[in-house]
Amino acid sequence: MIKFTPILLALLYGLVMYRFSVWRTKRTLDSQSTELADPVLKGLMDRMAASLDLKRIRVNIYEIDPVNGLAAPDGRIFLTRGFYRKYKAGEVTAEELASVIAHELGHVALGHSRRRMIDFSGQNALRTALAMILSRYIPFVGAFVANFLMSLLAAGLSRKDEYEADAYASALLVKSGIGTAPQKSLFKKLETLTGANGAAAPVWLMSHPKTAERIAAIEANEARWLSPGQDV
């Protein structure tokens, strides 16, 4: 039993950190956000809501500058003020912003946002336990090896989620008559916007797979959906 105490402590620590981070995220989002109210965007969101048999889609503006969209563990969707400003400045179209909302809706519908928080706490606990065990056999580098193994696992998990959310967004955009063109043009646009100044790379792009690969995946889906058997 004594042998397993460090692992139990690590798991307990992970659980406490998880509860705390859920609470802190919710508090920050509550105090620093307002509902998005833009007539043009609302028109697009209503079309997506109709495709999903929902009365409406509620999106909140999160008052921070970095260009990002996020799905909270409780299922709420947020666009940052920085992203909305790009739209207001004409750098990003309403349809392109709608594609971000569709992508975040995908994360919620597919259960990613909830699972991701669990993964995060699970990963922390596993990382700590792994580091403790590895350190006994390989002093000093054990913690690094544990970190490395865990980041590989996390990267694999999030990549898969991103492609799934993209596919969900494509299907929703097609069904709503918006199409996938804005989804693809946004990826290219964000990449060029940051091309001149790497330091200002939008977080939304950095936390996601490579642009070219995402566009290729969207096109592969479209090709599959328009299967050769169909007369269209």
The residues that touch Zn ion, with contacts defined as CB under 5 A, are 162, 165
CB of 116 to Zn ion, least distance (A): 10
CB of 180 to Zn ion, least distance (A): 16
Nearest partner of 184 among 113, 98, 96, judged by Cα: 96
Q: Which is nearer to Zn ion, 44 or 77 (CB)?
A: 77
Q: Which is nearer to Zn ion, 102 or 178 (CB)?
A: 102
- Residue 175 one-letter amino acid: K
Query: How many C-beta neighbours within 10 Å does residue 107 have?
Result: 25
CA distances from 215 to 15, 37, 67 (A): 37, 30, 20
CB of 106 to Zn ion, least distance (A): 8
CB of 169 to Zn ion, least distance (A): 9
CB of 80 to Zn ion, least distance (A): 14
Q: Which is nearer to Zn ion, 10 or 169 (CB)?
A: 169
Q: Which is nearer to Zn ion, 119 or 162 (CB)?
A: 162
Query: How many C-beta neighbours within 10 Å does residue 98 have?
Result: 27
d(C-alpha 29, C-alpha 66), whole Å = 15
Q: Which residues are CB-neighbours of 60 under 8 A, at least 6 positions away?
A: 29, 33, 34, 35, 36, 76, 77, 78, 79
d(C-alpha 78, C-alpha 65), whole Å = 13
Q: Which is nearer to Zn ion, 133 or 189 (CB)?
A: 189
